[in-house]
Amino acid sequence: MLHENLSINAMGHLCIAGADTVSLAKKYGTPLMVMDEQRIRRNLRIYKEAMAKHFGEGSFPAFASKSFSCKYIYRIAREENVGIDIVSSGELYTALEAGFDVSKSFFHGNNKTDFDINYGIDNGVGYFVVDNMTELDAIDRVACEKGIVQKVILRLTPGIDPHTHASIMTGQVDSKFGIAIETGQADEAVKYTLTKKNISLEGFHCHIGSQIFDIKPFCDAGKIMIEYISHLKKELGYEASILNLGGGFGVRYIDAQPELDYEEFIRLISRFIDDEVKSSGIKKPTIVMEPGRSIVADSALTLYTVGGTKEIPGFKSYVSVDGGMPDNPRYALYQADYTVCLASRMNDKADFRCTVAGRCCESGDLLQENVDLPRPQRGDVLAVLVTGAYNYSMASNYNRIPRPAVVGIKDGEDFEIIKRETFADLTRNDL
Ligand SMILES: *Cc1c(COP(=O)(O)O)cnc(C)c1O
């Protein structure tokens, strides 16, 4: 199957981490997201071990928690002793609630509000990843008021096109994120940052995009960033101690995509970095990476109950399920690839080509098109695989549909991670 944590049992049911998805759907209801905890920990450890081995002791992954943010995941990050990347005060609050030590956090975003800056500093956020100079002024002012020196790194755009979907591409010069090296603005930003008394510039950050299968853009980015660091040492005598290379490693959603060897990717990137460090004579910075998708995506799947099936002669067939864009907006947003299967009848012949539609009053509410399934019947359990990243964290209550429950599997036991929303939750803030 697509990943080693998926299997089919004697009843022809789809299993994740050995747990029967049809039984889980019955026990918890649908839509339901099911997460394999061991897989999350395994993915984190691959990064942790490969980074320590190839980049050196002190280098570490910071889980990009926008991909899946809830107390459970921050507890796992704490137990696995990794850092986190957060993008809002809400994510910071959630991490604090989970007892996460946020001195190991990177606070991102292209528009941190004054509230965010105050809240972050008051709670001891490790690093702000500064996106622009007006933001730097604001952080400096708040840090001065509070009588502290705040650590920051600057987000730079290395000018790289990683060939992924335009909505998830971020390393090019024309981006809403970061400061361009190419235009000379990065040099100005560094000089300006070094004049700030309440700011300590620790280094730099870049993030070239997401769902990237090619190693080259990562190696190029690493090389460009190290070259830039060495340029600064020569020009300004400034030496960066942290280089954060962001996230972006691709994940296998469909058979046609490869399963990447992340350790090998890290080894190759480190070769580029080491070559550049050696030839320029700079001190090798601590390398941080911010994987999100590649930590949680393949740990989860989403279960739905099939409702109606509709055949339109001469056109196509639709299968409707009891979730859709409220729990997974990624197909509606950018036609994301997913593998869909009929979890309750995995061994039946998949000879019915259809479009899987969500339940919302929106024609774009589709989960996938041109899927081959056994002809679904009302009540069958349908699974969309590899839904751990950017699904629950992007979920909404469109059409007043409660967000689904999230259930974890560990050592053969199932347990709730996030409760299903109730109708009362839907009206909680209505006056
Ligand atoms: C989204 C994002 C990440 C994570 O990207 P993945 O593709 O999920 O690994 C890391 N860093 C930054 C700054 C991001 O915006």
Q: How many Å lie between the centroid of ligand 1 and the Cα of residue 294?
A: 10
Residues 6+ apart with CB under 8 A from 189: 133, 136, 154, 179
Closest residue (by CA) to atom 10 of ligand 1?
A: 247
State whether the beta carbon of 3 lies less than 6 angstroms from ligand 1.
no
The arithmetic mean of pLDDT across residues 30-49, rounded, is 98
How far is the centre of ligand 1, averaged over its atoms, from the C-alpha of 367 (Å)?
23
Ligand 1 atom nearest to 211, measured from its CA: 7
User: Which atom of ligand 1 sits closest to the CA of residue 209?
Assistant: 7
Q: What are the tens digits of pLDDT across the range 99-154?
A: 999 999 999 999 999 999 999 999 999 999 999 999 999 999 999 999 999 999 99
Determine whether the shortest distance from the Cβ of 64 to ligand 1 is under 6 A: yes
Angle at 315 between CA 310 and CA 318, to 5 degrees: 30
Q: Is the CB of 294 under 6 A from ligand 1?
A: yes
Q: Is 414 left (phi over 0), alpha (psi -120 to 50) or beta?
A: beta
pLDDT of residue 173: 73
pLDDT for residue 69: 98
Following CA atoms 328, 429, 25, 298 in sequence, which dihedral angle do they give, to the nearest 10 degrees?
40
Buried b (16+ CB within 10 A) or exposed e, 295-317: bbbbbbbbbbbbeebeeeeeeeb
Supply the pLDDT for residue 193. 98
- How far does the centroid of ligand 1 lie from the alpha carbon of residue 21, in Å? 30
Sequential DSSP letters for 112-136: --HHHHHHHHHTT-SEEEE-SHHHH
- CA 86 to centroid of ligand 1, rounded, Å: 10
DSSP, residue by residue, 263-302? HHHHHHHHHHHHHHHHHHTPPPPEEEE--SHHHHGGGEEE
- The answer on pLDDT for 80 being more than 70 is yes
Q: Which residue has the tokens 């975003």?
A: 109
Q: Is the pLDDT of residue 369 over 90?
A: yes
* Mean pLDDT (whole number) for 337-365: 97
| pLDDT in the model for residue 374 | 98
Cis peptide before 31 (omega within 30 of 0): yes
pLDDT at 170: 67
Ligand 1 mean position to 206 CA, how many Å? Answer: 10
Angle subtended by helix axes 133-145 and 185-194, to nearest 10: 10
Is 290 close to ligand 1, i.e. is its CB under 6 Å away?
yes
Is the CB of 108 within 6 Å of ligand 1? yes
Q: In whole angstroms, give the CA distance from residue 340 to residue 348.
A: 14
Q: What does the DSSP 8-state code read for residue 177? A: S
Catalytic annotation, residues: 361
Q: In a mutational test of the pocket of ligand 1, which residue from 46, 86, 210, 287 has the highest number of ligand atoms less than 8 Å from its CB?
A: 210
pLDDT of residue 174: 76
Residue 268 has pLDDT above 80, yes or no: yes
The residue type of 390 is Y
Cβ–ligand 1 contact at 91 (below 6 Å): no
User: Which atom of ligand 1 is nearest the CA belonging to 390?
Assistant: 8
Average pLDDT, rounded, for the chain: 96
Confidence check: pLDDT of 167 > 70: no
CA 109 to chain centre: 14
Which residue from 421, 356, 377, 362 is spatially nearest to 395, judged by alpha carbons?
421
For residues 25-30, give the mean pLDDT: 98
Contact status, residue 357 vs residue 365, Cβ threshold 8 Å: yes
Stretch 34-43: mean pLDDT = 98
Looking at the predicted structure, is the pLDDT value of residue 336 above 80? yes
**pLDDT class of 362 with cuts at 50, 70, 90:** very high
Average pLDDT over residues 375-390: 98
Dihedral angle, C-alpha 345, 407, 28, 331, nearest 10 °: -60
Sort residue 363 into left (φ over 0), alpha (ψ -120 to 50) or beta.
alpha
| Residue 132: Cβ within 10 Å count | 18
Q: Is the pLDDT of residue 169 over 70?
A: no
Rounded to an integer, the average pLDDT of 15-19 is 98
The answer, yes or no, to whether residue 29 has pLDDT greater than 70, is yes
The C-alpha atoms of residue 20 and residue 37 are separated, in whole angstroms, by 15
Kindly give the distance from the C-alpha atom of residue 38 to the centroid of ligand 1, in angstroms, as a whole number.
Answer: 22
Which helix H or strand E contains 414, and what residues bound it? strand 413-418
Atom number in ligand 1 closest to CA 106: 13
Q: What is the number of other CB atoms lying within 10 angstroms of the CB of residue 371?
A: 21
* Whether residue 164 has pLDDT greater than 70: no
Amino acid type, 198: N
391-422 burial code (b ≥16 CB/10 A, e <16)? bbbbbeebeebbbbbbbbbeeeebeebbebbe
Ligand 1 atom closest to the CA of 170, numbered from 1: 15
Q: pTM value? A: 0.96
pLDDT exceeds 70 at position 180: yes
The tens digit of pLDDT for each residue in 275-317 reads: 999 999 899 999 999 999 999 999 999 999 999 999 999 999 9
Q: Indicate whether residue 85 lines ligand 1 (CB < 6 A).
A: yes
Residue among 262, 266, 290 to mutate when testing ligand 1 (max atoms within 8 A of CB): 290
pLDDT of residue 172: 73
Overall average pLDDT of the 180-205 stretch: 97
Q: How far apart are CA 358 and CA 371, in angstroms?
A: 14
83 Cβ below 6 A of ligand 1: no
Q: Is any atom of ligand 1 closer than 6 Å to the C-beta of 131? A: no
| pLDDT for residue 42 is more than 80 | yes
Distance 44 CA to ligand 1 centre (A): 15
pLDDT tens track for 89-101: 999 999 999 999 9
Tokens standing for 221? 């980015």
Assign residue 174 a region (left: φ > 0; alpha: ψ between -120 and 50; beta: otherwise).
beta
* 150 close to ligand 1 (CB < 6 Angstrom): no
Q: Which pLDDT tens digit goes with each residue over 395-430? A: 999 999 999 999 999 999 999 999 999 999 999 999
**Distance separating alpha carbons of residues 335 and 5, to the nearest angstrom:** 25
At 1 the three-state DSSP class reads: coil
pLDDT given for residue 171 in this prediction? 66
Residues 92-123 as b or e (16 or more Cβ within 10 Å = b)? bebbbebebebebbbbbbeebeeebbbbbbeb
Residue type, 70: C
Query: Under DSSP, is residue 316 helix (H, G, I), strand (E, B) or coil?
Result: coil
